[in-house]
Structure 1
Amino acid sequence: MAKNEVFQFSLISALMDGVASHGTPISRVLAHGDHGLGTFRNMVGEMIVVDGEVYQMKHDGSVIHVNPEDTITPFATVTRFQATTKTKASVTGKKDLKELLTRLFPSSKNHFLAIRMDGVFRKINFRTAGGQCRPREGMVDVCARQAEHTFEGEKGTIVGFRCPEYVMGINVAGDHLHFISEDRQRGGHILSFETDGEVEVGISQMSNFHLELPTEDEEFNTAALAKDEKGIKAVEG
């Protein structure tokens, strides 16, 4: 794939329906991108792809480096990231980030954005999911047992996407962000954050979206895949 095109495997609605026992090797996903988010088989932990490396952010907030050849993902979104706009900014939270992105890309309402932020964060609150307790357990129930962690004065990287409203249920509409510390030891799905002064911000606007659905997966084939906008917003924070 070319730079700044979105590749996605499966649907967020499939995770909501508990479709997470199978998937595709992460190595296949990495063939399409070096920057992204996702989860792992049975929704065990959060995935971040940064600089082409894959990390699993576990329930206790710790992070392990993942061998993409040996690991399966039931859902992931990646791009071959090349920032088309770079700036330095102090960001006081998700609302402030939303306003910054809208100001920098005023015509992006119906397009995708890839986001990367590098620097020191005054405070980051994030969650990590521990995984399914039974096959087909939905994402709402999985995330009801999620652990929340707060770090202060942490240097690291935020990776994420802004997806347009019309893809809710296919992906997560709005800003979806994961954090990993500079030493690659801590991280998770961001609930709230604030930078400590200015950080480096890189963004690209994307108009090409590639979706691959699971095949030979009975869970996916029988799932209702109804859009649960309220549930998605609840689990994604």
Structure 2
Amino acid sequence: MAANEVYQYSIVSALMDGVASHGTPIARVLAHGDHGLGTFRHMVGEMIVLDGAVHQMKADGSVERVTDPAATVTPFATVTRFRPTARARAAVRGKAGLQQLLTRLFPKARNHFLCVRMDGVFRAVEVRTAGGQACAREGMVDVCARQTTHRFEGVRGTIVGFRCPAYVMGVNVAGDHFHFITDDRRRGGHILSFETEGEVDVAAAQMSNFHLELPTEDDEFNEATLVLQAEGIKEAEG
């Protein structure tokens, strides 16, 4: 794939219906991108793909690098070959502040995808991590109801994520979806809130090409209803 094209395996509505027992090897996902987000088999932890390396962020707040992506499976992931087309150095107070900054950088991207990376020191970052399904086909809302939250203060790290247009809700997560990892790659999770400590480096790119691969030969996916649960997705994703 060319730079700044979105590749996605499966859809968020499948996770909502508990389709997470199978998936695709992460090595296949990395063939399409070096920057992105996802989860792992049975929704055990959060995935962050940064500079081509894959990390699993666990329910206790710890992080483990995936050393064998050919043998590790993901039921859902979104990646791109990230090549920034806009950069800024700015203080960012939370998701609302980031939304304003991205709108200023990309004033005509309301109906396009954006890929984002932020590097610097963060005054506070609150994250959550899901511990995984308690049984087969348990949906994402129930899985996330048992999530753990962690707060990191005065940490240097990286935020990775996407802004997706409203019309893809259910295929992906409409709006902003970000994960965080510390510079030492030891802590992280799905961002609930954050605030920078002064200015950080922000890099972003607007994307207009979207490639979707759906699971095949997967009974869970074939039997799922895949009805849009917009409020449930918003609840699960924070």
Provide the C-alpha distance between the structure 2 equivalents of 1:138 and 1:68, rounded to a whole number of angstroms: 25
Is it true that 1:172 corresponds to 2:166 in the alignment? no
Q: Give deviations 1:128-182, integer Å, cap 9, x for gaps.
A: 0000000000000000000000000010000000000000000000000000000
TM-score, normalised relative to structure 2: 0.99
1:126 match: 127
Paired position in structure 1 for 2:209: 208
Supply the distance in 2 between the matched residues of 1:54 and 1:186 (Cα, whole angstroms): 14
User: How far is 1:83 from its partner?
Assistant: 0.4
Alpha-carbon distance, 1:72 to partner: 0.0
Q: Which amino acid aligns with 1:187?
A: G
Distance 2:233 2:90 in 1: 29
Match in the other structure for 1:227: 228
Q: Tell me the secondary structure at the aligned position of residue 70 of structure 1.
A: coil
| Root mean square deviation, CA, Å | 0.3
1:54-203 paired onto structure 2 within 5 Å: 54-66=54-66, 67-203=68-204
* Secondary structure at 1:198 match in 2: strand
Unmatched 5+ stretches in structure 1: none
SS at match of 2:198: coil
Report Cα offsets for 1:187-217 as digits up to 9, x if no partner.
0000000000000000000000000000000
**SS where residue 145 of structure 1 aligns?**
coil
d(CA) in 2 for partners of 1:194 and 1:70?
36
Look up the equivalent residue of 2:47 and give its one-letter code: M
SS across alignment from 2:236: helix
Q: Distance between the aligned counterparts of 1:110 and 1:156, measured in 2?
A: 29
Structure 1 distance, partners of 2:22, 2:70, is 15
Aligned counterpart, 1:39: 39
Classify the secondary structure of the residue corresponding to 2:205: strand
SS in 2 for 1:27: helix
Return 5+ residue gaps in structure 2 as ranges. none
Alignment match, 2:4: 4
**Residue 127 of structure 1: how far off its partner (Å):** 0.1
Q: For 1:214 and 1:3, how far apart are their aligned partners in 2? A: 24
SS in 1 for 2:222: helix
Structure 1 CA distance for aligned equivalents of residues 164 and 204 of structure 2: 13
The residue type equivalent to 2:231 in the other structure is: K
Could you list the structure 1 runs, at least 4 aligned residues long, displaced by more than 4 angstroms after superposition.
none
Separation in structure 1 between the aligned mates of residue 87 and residue 99 of structure 2, nearest angstrom: 16
Deviations for 1:96-151, whole angstroms, at most 9, x for unmatched residues?
A: 10011011101000000000000000000000000000000000000000000000
Aligned partners of 2:198 and 2:97: how far apart in 1?
A: 13
TM-score by length of 1: 1.00
Q: Which amino acid aligns with 2:76?
A: F
Matches of 1:88 and 1:100 in 2, distance apart? 10
Query: Using the alignment, how far apart are the partners of 2:97 and 2:191 within structure 1?
Result: 14
CA shift, 1:69, in A, is: 1.3
Question: What SS is found at the alignment partner of 1:95?
Answer: helix
Q: How does 1:42-53 map to 2 (within 5 A)?
A: 42-53=42-53
Size of the alignment, in residue pairs? 237
